[in-house]
A and B are shown apart, each in its own frame.
Chain A
Amino acid sequence: MKVDIVMPQLGESVAEGTILKWHKKVGDRVAKDEVIYEVSTDKIDTEIPAPVAGVLSEILVSEEKTVDVGTVVARIETQAQDAAQSKAPAAKPLAGKQVEEVKKSEPKPHMGGESGKQETRMISRSRGATSAGSSRPPPPITPSRSTQPGGVVIRREKTFLSPVVRKMMRLHNIDEQELEVISGSGAQGRITKRDMEGYLSGRSAAPRRAVAPSILFDRPSGKALVDTQPIAKFSRDRVEKMSNIRKKIAEHMIFSRQTSAHCQLYHEADVTDMMRYRDLHEAEYAAQGVKLTVTPLFLIPLMQAIREFPVMNASVQGDEIIYHENINIGLAVAMDKGLIVPVIKQAEALNLLGLAKAVQTLASRARENKLTVDDLKGGTFTLTNPGMYGTLMSAPIINQPQVAIFSPGAVQKRVVVRGDNSLAIRDRVYLSLSFDHRVIDGAVAGAFLKSLTQKLERSFSFEA
């Protein structure tokens, strides 16, 4: 009888495998457990033995081909009679299972037979919790649908959406793209009913679409990722398809580099007074439920400097420079799925408390996957803070269609030489600026940074 050789599942999250090499060809005899082919998967490369002895009668999948787990890759013709022909009842398939079960049996028998050991357990049950009774209103049961003949194979891919999840998507008008920003808590990152419930509770009643990867950035790139020549893969390399978010980020970064004439300048600022201001006022802000971080402290001098150099808050369209009236500050936030830049609209109108609150709100919404389209649109200037990771200086990529991006590094205590040649230990920070040299010249950028530096050094100094 013919025995199917199927692509095995060699790991919980493995969905496919690639035949690396056939050790046998059609017509060859194979012994039980003899290696017939080698397979490569995301998790492991291994040799596959024959489950039965016989002749390799068909090879259905050739070398280098990738197929889904469960696909028949070959067939072995055995000497055994077909099950339909044999007279013995089909107890054989279960034999393996029984043996398996015995091995897994619990060490102590649960249902002991000796009456001596048996104890009578007292039970009670609240009889009020019956499932029926006149008090219970009949629940609306969905009408029965005719079942389709044939089985449905559930493919364990990341995009598997269970029936109840699909129902919720339908009821609330959520499409699959929108779900990409939710990380699932189910096996292999699957989105579960509970994840959906959590996501839905965060959505406001007005049907606002949460951010989909296609609108992560204001300026659609219009350019697909360039197909490069195939890269040589080695047998243990792992290939992962980019998530939609990652693709969009990749496209935008290339687009930005190809659009702006990126240039960098670095200044250093003394932020001892700023840090002291933070220390002095932390508790007061905390009492109002607001965490006072350095970000809002940077923002105030930053926006004052922007007011002095309006071109830093502009956009380029063809041969026109558009000077934006409002300063909508984008804050780069790093998440598991990728980079996201929520925007504080009209930040120039906010005081320190307002800015601190706005920063905190956006950061927590970003972490909880509750950012909306509005949160991401309309930025005119971006602040990115790699300092939290210890970075001193950086050369960030401009967030189109803006013309500059500001990156304060990590605040460090350094020894500096003062005007009178004395030494002092001060809190210092490198200020990095990437700017678009199409419209901002080096001198302007330098003057901007100098002004910003001065404001950072002086704005907090009259505090006691």
Chain B
Amino acid sequence: MAVKTYLEAITDGLRQCLKADPDVFLMGEDIGVFGGAFKVTKGLFDEFGPQRVMDTPISEAGFVGAGIGAALCGLRPVVEMQFSDFISCCFNQIVNVAATIHYRWGGKVPLTIRCPSGGGVRGGPFHSQSPEGWFMHTPGLYVVCPATPYDAKGLLVSSIRNNNPVLFFEHKWLYRRLKEDIPDGLYEVPLGVADIAREGTDVSVIAYGSCVAHALDAAEGLEKDGISVEVVDLRTLVPLDKEAILNTVKKTSRAVVAYEDHIVAGPGSEVCSILANEGFEYLDAPVERVAGLQTPIPYAPVLEDTYLPSPKKIADAVRRVATF
């Protein structure tokens, strides 16, 4: 066991997977010699060499396409988007090629695409996006969103070992903000299983990624006001742990869904839909969403803070729902 930040946990996961499986290799812009824009891959080039840690040209479509090809040939590429925002450059490769190959002709695409996502770092509209909604929506892809260092490493290992294309959204705001004591060796966190980050009885907050930390902060304050909040960390959007979603609302009968992606048709909307349909008879109050605003992500700090979900926004929503 060792204490590692969220970022270090990912580095650790990559290193261990590179060691354990010779088919695993990394591709991305500046990940090799430079060690990565965020230093996630620092030291890996020196340890594993240029065949296993490859610097690519600035062409997402190009190197994701190459990754798909490598996967089809039996390798296990882990491709990095320098910022998740650039994923739209390789959108076609992902949704039309990677996501449909198995469906169309039975091929296997064990490709993992790592995407540093999320705002709060004053990155502006092209360095702060949470685009997971596009890919949750696309059949044929797994979508993974860890909220803790432990899950970041474990879910990364599961993603790399999975034989399907997996989009791994690591939240850059969490990189150095969270640390946790995690096992040294290789371990997996199963895909499709949510975690109860905090048990409670009055209101469920269902979240993933950065919103889990915000929800836990909010819950601390709300506890003092006598509102007991249960925080459910979805961990993966595809597969979605529908059972966990329904179970928590069965217990509390009130829900707030929190996500950083834009509110309209964002991943949390699917959660709300499930509750409205299969969880209808559990509900004692309307379901609220706390999410990124329906605007491009602002650059000005005050505006960015207004755009983003926060503990206060979640707490306000919980209060409204709790007093309905």
Binding site for A on B (CB under 8 A): 3, 5, 119-122, 148-150, 173, 176-181, 190, 193-197, 199, 232, 241, 243-244, 246-248, 250, 253, 276-278, 280-286, 293-295, 301-306, 308, 310-312, 323-324
Contact = CB atoms under 8 A, between A and B. Distances in A.
B193 A186 contact: no
A210 to B, nearest CB: 21
Identify whether the interface residues of B are mostly helix, strand, loop, or mixed: mixed
A273 B311 CA distance: 65
Interface residues of A, number: 44
11 contacts: A110-B312, A113-B301, A120-B177, A121-B177, A131-B194, A132-B244, A141-B243, A142-B278, A162-B285, A163-B280, A165-B284
Interface centre among A111, A113, A144, A167 (most CB of B within 10 A): A111
B196 A131 contact: yes
Interface of A: 94, 98, 101-102, 105-106, 109-111, 113, 115, 118-125, 127, 129-133, 138-139, 141-142, 144-145, 147, 154, 162-167, 186-187, 190, 192-193
B283 A106 contact: no
A123 B177 CA distance: 10
Given A121-B177, A162-B283, A129 B196 contact: yes
Nearest to A161: B284
Identify whether the interface residues of A are mostly helix, strand, loop, or mixed: loop
Contacts of A98: 293, 295, 306
A113 B175 CA distance: 13
B281 A138 contact: no
B310 A111 contact: yes
B305 A110 contact: yes
Contacts of A120: 5, 176-179
Contacts of A186: 284, 323-324
A108 B308 CA distance: 13
Nearest to A133: B193
B120 A111 contact: yes
A123 B283 contact: no
A251 B196 CA distance: 55
A164 B243 contact: no
Contacts of A166: 281
Contacts of A162: 253, 283-285
A145 B284 CA distance: 18
A194 to B, nearest CB: 8
A106 B217 CA distance: 15
Contacts of B194: 131-132
B272 to A, nearest CB: 12
B293 A113 contact: no
Interface centre among A119, A124, A133 (most CB of B within 10 A): A124
A187 B302 CA distance: 34
A187 B311 CA distance: 24
Q: List the 3 closest A-B pairs by CB distance, nearest first.
A: A111-B120, A113-B122, A131-B244
B318 to A, nearest CB: 15
A102 B303 contact: yes
Contacts of B197: 125
Nearest to A143: B278
Contacts of A111: 119-121, 173, 304-305, 308, 310
Given A120-B178, A129-B195, A166-B281, 16 more contacts: A98-B293, A102-B302, A109-B305, A110-B120, A111-B304, A121-B178, A122-B3, A131-B193, A131-B243, A131-B248, A142-B280, A142-B281, A144-B277, A154-B286, A162-B253, A163-B284
A396 B90 CA distance: 85
Contacts of A165: 284
Contacts of A147: 276-277
Nearest to B294: A94
A129 B178 CA distance: 20
Given A130-B196, A162-B285, A139 B250 contact: yes
Interface centre among B281, B282, B293, B303 (most CB of A within 10 A): B281
A139 B247 CA distance: 7
Contact of A192 (B150, B280, B284, B286): B284
B205 to A, nearest CB: 14
Given A105-B306, A111-B305, A129-B199, A163 B148 contact: no
Given A139-B246, A145-B277, A163-B280, A109 B301 contact: yes
Contacts of B244: 131-132
Contacts of A115: 176
Contact of B232 (A121, A124, A131): A131
